[in-house]
Amino acid sequence: MDLSTHLTGSGSAEAITFDDLRGLRQDFTRFMLRHRFGMEEVVTKLHILRDEFALMHETNPIEHVASRLKSPDSLAEKIQRKGADPTWESISAAITDIAGVRVTCSFVSDVYRICDLLSQQQDVTVKEVRDYIANPKANGYRSLHALVSVPVYLSDGPVPVGVEVQFRTIAMDFWASLEHKIHYKYRGAVPEDLQDRLRDAAESAHGLDAQMEALHAEVRSLDDQGVSGLPDDVRAELRGGDDLVPSERLLDQLRRLAGEID
Ligand code: 0O2
């Protein structure tokens, strides 16, 4: 598929016909549809994992799964910025997040665990992993990105489709959505002072993740030692229930517990 034949016809912009435009629109629809199907395949896989954890295990490492197809405007901007050749194949290769899935997890260890569980599936091919948790971006951005390919079975056979899966904790997601809003508000030219504060906030979010992970590990080891008799609501909260932010109530309960264990 070569976009340039549609875009320039016989070499000049004036040569575009309605048939060219119709063809281009059809090709674009087909192109985006494939990415939507690929995205839906990955979302289904993650929902299966989430539901299995929820029904069969006491903990659920997946908090939330969201997905989005890149908008035509955002896609056009990125094609231009990356200087991709005007063919569908080149665009697919250069723009890896046309189909995007975001998985929010409770703890950093869950982020890596769910990424592994998805990556190990037989029909998932991992093209690249970008670990912005181990190597955060200069602005403080943290997330684990897996660029995967999944087969989509169309009427004329299977086609591999690339999907970018972003795995993050709730704290990372909170930070990233705020940074995204600020970035757009200032159209990329974020004032230095705000950039510094965002970097500080990213470090605080990272600190919170580390604290939560440590608490979680401690409680798991208590469970492994067979310590019983914790009130149900405390167990639920410590096991990563609905409330993942360490509320005052949770901290009080922990203090109480610490006293009891001493
Ligand atoms: P949207 O609105 O989510 O679609 P790049 O060249 O940096 O634009 P690339 O090379 O495709 O992107 O890969 P990268 O760096 O892994 O980024 C892909 C996506 O990750 C971005 O898509 C964002 O969703 C997210 N991301 C990466 N860096 C940042 C960051 O610093 N802050 C935030 N908030 N998100 C980030 P888009 O197209 O930028 O945005």
What digits encode the pLDDT tens for the residues 104-153? 999 999 999 999 999 999 999 999 999 999 999 999 999 999 999 999 99
Active-site residues, by number, are: 164
Is residue 178 classed as helix, strand or coil in its secondary structure?
A: helix
Spatial separation of the C-alpha atoms in residues 110 and 126, rounded to whole Å? 18
Minimum CA distance residue for ligand 1 atom 37? 97
Residue 137 Cβ < 6 Å to ligand 1: yes
The number of angstroms, rounded, from the C-alpha of 131 to the middle of its chain's C-alpha atoms is: 12
Distance 135 CA to ligand 1 centre (A): 15
pLDDT for the residue 1: 46
Q: b/e for 60-78, b at 16 or more Cβ within 10 A?
A: bbbbebebebbeeeebeeb
Three-state SS string over 10-28 comes to: CCCHHHCCHHHHHHHHHHH
d(CA 50, CA 60): 7
pLDDT for the residue 247: 53
CA distance 88 to 252: 57
Q: How far is CA 63 from CA 54, 105, 192, in A?
A: 10, 5, 33
Distance 133 CA to ligand 1 centre (A): 14
pLDDT of residue 180: 93
| Predicted TM-score of the model (pTM) | 0.81
Pick the atom of ligand 1 nearest to 179's CA.
Answer: 34
Please state the φ and ψ torsions of residue 202, each to the nearest 5 degrees: -65, -40
CA distances from 146 to 20, 39, 61, 136, 207 (A): 36, 13, 18, 15, 24
Question: H helices of the chain, where?
Answer: 3-8, 18-56, 72-82, 88-94, 108-119, 170-185, 192-224, 232-238, 248-261
CA–centroid distance, 167 to ligand 1, in Å, is: 13
User: CB–CB of 178/57 below 8 Å?
Assistant: no
pLDDT of residue 207: 95
Both tokens of residue 190? 């974020």
pLDDT at res. 222: 72
Give the pLDDT score at 32: 96
Largest interatomic CA distance in the chain:
83
Within the chain, which residues score under 70 in pLDDT? 1-14, 224-262
| Ligand 1 neighbourhood includes 130 CB (under 6 angstroms) | yes
Most informative mutation of 147, 148, 180, 186 for ligand 1 (most atoms within 8 A of CB): 180
Q: What is the pLDDT of residue 231?
A: 56
Q: Kindly give the number of the ligand 1 atom that is closest to the alpha carbon of 95.
A: 11
Structure token pair of residue 186: 């200032």
Q: For every residue of 107-163, which 3-state class applies, written as one string?
A: CHHHHHHHHHHHHCCCCCEEEEEEECCCCCCCCCCCCEEEEEEEEEEECCEEEEEEE
* Structural domains present in the chain: 18-215 (3.30.460.10), 222-261 (no CATH)
CA distance linking residue 72 with residue 95, whole number of Å: 12
